[in-house]
Amino acid sequence: MAQRRTIAVVGLGSMGKGMAGSLLRAGHTVFGIDLDERAARDFVAAGGAPGDAGERAEEIDILVLVVLNDVQTEAVLFGPGGWADRLRPGAAVVSCATMAPDFARSLAERCLAKGLHYLDAPISGGARKSAEGKLSVMASGSPDAFALAAPVLEACAETVFNLGDAPGSGSAMKAVNQLLAGVHIAAMAEAMTFAINQGIAPEQVLDVIPKCAGTSWMFENRAPHVVEGDYTPRSSVNIWPKDLGIVLDIARKSGFGAPLTAAALQQFLAASGSGLGAEDDAAVAKVYARNAGIRLPGDPA
Amino acid sequence: MAQRRTIAVVGLGSMGKGMAGSLLRAGHTVFGIDLDERAARDFVAAGGAPGDAGERAEEIDILVLVVLNDVQTEAVLFGPGGWADRLRPGAAVVSCATMAPDFARSLAERCLAKGLHYLDAPISGGARKSAEGKLSVMASGSPDAFALAAPVLEACAETVFNLGDAPGSGSAMKAVNQLLAGVHIAAMAEAMTFAINQGIAPEQVLDVIPKCAGTSWMFENRAPHVVEGDYTPRSSVNIWPKDLGIVLDIARKSGFGAPLTAAALQQFLAASGSGLGAEDDAAVAKVYARNAGIRLPGDPA
């Protein structure tokens, strides 16, 4: 196996927890850091390094940030007591949150000013793939950043897209993927409810569309949730107001109009605003169903 | 081979010509009918039955309608000199145009009143698949209609979805597929141009997205046209104002709001309205590029 590294993972939510576990399995010394003390304790019980990572910051080779967004990423690095001042020069920062490319570039520059190598490394694949060490990573950064971050990429990712040496390119590609993924989930919901409205059984749609030009990865993955009436969150509605909001923020700053993304965002906002935020993102179909007065599978008769 | 039938194909455009050719190859006697006399003459030269099909209407077992829309379909059947009064009772009508399910149902009823068996049979797959006899057909109709139309389905289709015995279900499923396909093409264009706007090379998007959750059949099929700057029409922009218009007409009549479809339609209308109607439908990317002031591959420097 690769050389044993000392790694700190900040953010032990569904994605960070899976990555931290993959790093443990690969034999590294892994600190798990989370504001939720129970999540941090559970990780120590699962084999994580005990004690205060902050007091051993000099030992840390790689800091992996799997927090919610740009604001949290900046706070962890440059806020009061931030890690950018505690890591030793030459350490690597692997940043996994979805954020604007410009912001990723500025974080990379500020890190480099402190001698830290920043890998812009948004992740894709969901909680299960994270737990299995099979994420997709859309990565960009200097050759040094890639080399230093290699143990993390090897342990956590099935596919690493090397998008070049400019930080921000990884974040930009992640935004492109989220644009498509979010629009396709909303389109799935629009199509399934339209079909039901026209008297077609949803099982029939699921049988036909995957063999036709109208199919998408998201259709094939999410439409079964609607057909089964099962909205147990594999990936929740609340991801999308955030991620499509990021896409539209980037777009607006660049003078780029994105009407389909904007339409999809409205549907996810309606889902979230009406109390469906914690359900599976396929529950955006409930917004369509409600507006059209139709029943979905699993609805009471 | 199946029993030799006498079949008339009305509409020798890119889809109808392919179907008529497939029927010839299967050994049937095939009349090709088109307002464009040259198309009709070319088909006779290719082996089509010569002479006036109208004078031999009693011999025709199956009338296949591959015209543009509902209005043309109705005119061919029930307009002055229409085929519904010329075919012998017991003949079959196979209707392939995309139209509203309600309209398909009413045509089926009017045909049945004259003793004709109507198969609601919208087709999918494009000109190439039509020429190869490998269309997908979304079919619904009575068992008699299916049985009588079997030689056409066998010769022209790779996949036949049997959507039950109610005419209109085939048209409804076709509308569901077109909703998704149209939205996904516009989403491809939105994503590709957004990526270019963010400084990502379009080839890189085409390399990454098909391996990610953001992919779709249309992305993988149409994004290469943008990357290559090749807008030779495989399927043209002008299809989409028509087909998404049909979807939205159906939706509005049913009190169903379809915001993503509506947004996609606007983009295709802008493409069509600005002179791109005859180009490949991937040219909807040019609308985005123009609005954002960016260059697409193939644009002059």
Ranges of chain A with pLDDT below 50: 1
Task: Choose the catalytic residue: B17, B129, B174, B286.
Answer: B174
Residue A126 confidence (pLDDT): 84
pLDDT digits (tens, 9 = 90+) for B259-270: 999 999 999 999
How far the first Cα of chain A sits from its last, in Å, is 57
Q: Which of B105, B114, B135, B188 is nearest to B15 (CA)?
A: B135
Task: Supply angle C-alpha A107, A113, A116, rounded to 5.
Answer: 75
Pairing of the two strands B92-95 and B62-65: parallel
Task: Supply angle C-alpha B250, B253, B255, rounded to 5.
Answer: 105
Rounded Cα gap, residues A6 and A27, in angstroms: 10
CB of A200 less than 8 A from some CB of B: yes
Residue B300 confidence (pLDDT): 87
Residue A149 confidence (pLDDT): 98
CB of B191 less than 8 A from some CB of A: yes
**Residue A115 DSSP class:** T
For chain B, give the mean pLDDT: 96
Contact in structure between A122 and A97 (CB atoms under 8 Å)? yes
Rounded Cα gap, residues B37 and B120, in angstroms: 27
Contact in structure between B22 and B156 (CB atoms under 8 Å)? yes
Would you call A180 and B216 a contact, using CB atoms and an 8 Å cutoff?
A: yes
For an interface test with A, which of B185, B217, B265 has the most A Cβ atoms less than 10 Å from its Cβ? B217
Residue A301 confidence (pLDDT): 75
Residues of A in contact with B186 (CB under 8 A): 260
B76-104 mean pLDDT: 96
pLDDT digits (tens, 9 = 90+) for A217-263: 999 999 999 999 999 998 899 999 999 999 999 999 999 999 999 99
Would you call B261 and A190 a contact, using CB atoms and an 8 Å cutoff?
A: yes
User: Does residue B253 carry a catalytic annotation?
Assistant: no
Contact in structure between B239 and B122 (CB atoms under 8 Å)? no
Q: Which class for A14: exposed (0-12), middle (13-18), buried (19 or more C-beta within 10 A)? A: middle
Q: Looking at the predicted structure, is the pLDDT value of residue B1 above 80?
A: no
Walk across the sheet containing B62-65 and list its strands.
B29-33, B6-10, B62-65, B92-95, B117-120
Q: Which class for B244: exposed (0-12), middle (13-18), buried (19 or more C-beta within 10 A)? A: buried
Rounded Cα gap, residues B136 and B129, in angstroms: 9
Nearest to A187 among B214, B215, B260 (CB): B260
Q: Where are the domains of chain B?
A: 6-165, 172-292
Record: fold of A6-166: Rossmann fold (3.40.50)
Q: Which amino acid is at A217?
A: W
Q: Looking at the predicted structure, is the pLDDT value of residue B71 above 80?
A: yes
B168-178 mean pLDDT: 97
B22-45 mean pLDDT: 97
Would you call B214 and A247 a contact, using CB atoms and an 8 Å cutoff?
A: no
B94-111 mean pLDDT: 96
Please tell me the distance in Å from B126's CA to the nearest CA on chain A: 10
For an interface test with A, which of B194, B269, B284 has the most A Cβ atoms less than 10 Å from its Cβ? B194
**Dihedral sign, Cα of residue A236, residue A238, residue A241, residue A244:** negative
Rounded Cα gap, residues B16 and B65, in angstroms: 8
Record: fold of A172-292: N-(1-d-carboxylethyl)-l-norvaline Dehydrogenase; domain 2 (1.10.1040)
Return the SS3 of B81.
coil
Task: Supply angle C-alpha A290, A292, A296, rounded to 5.
Answer: 60
Task: Supply angle C-alpha B189, B133, B91, rounded to 5.
Answer: 115
The answer as to CATH 3.30.465.10 being correct for domain B6-165 is no
For chain A, give the mean pLDDT: 96
Walk across the sheet containing A123-124 and list its strands.
A123-124, A135-139, A157-162
Which pair of structure tokens corresponds to residue A140?
Answer: 């960009």
- pLDDT band, very low/low/confident/very high, at B210 (cuts 50, 70, 90): very high
B214-241 mean pLDDT: 96
Give the contacts of A144 (CB within 8 A, at least 6 positions apart): A117
CB of B161 less than 8 A from some CB of A: yes
For an interface test with A, which of B105, B200, B222 has the most A Cβ atoms less than 10 Å from its Cβ? B200
CB of B251 less than 8 A from some CB of A: yes
Contact in structure between B268 and B244 (CB atoms under 8 Å)? yes
Q: Looking at the predicted structure, is the pLDDT value of residue B15 above 80?
A: yes
Contact in structure between B20 and B43 (CB atoms under 8 Å)? yes
Which pair of structure tokens corresponds to residue A168?
Answer: 């921000």
Residue A96 confidence (pLDDT): 98
Rounded Cα gap, residues B74 and B67, in angstroms: 10
The residues of A assigned a catalytic role are 174
Rounded Cα gap, residues B64 and B153, in angstroms: 11
Please tell me the distance in Å from A199's CA to the nearest CA on chain B: 8
Please tell me the distance in Å from B220's CA to the nearest CA on chain A: 10
Residue A2 confidence (pLDDT): 57
- pLDDT band, very low/low/confident/very high, at B2 (cuts 50, 70, 90): low
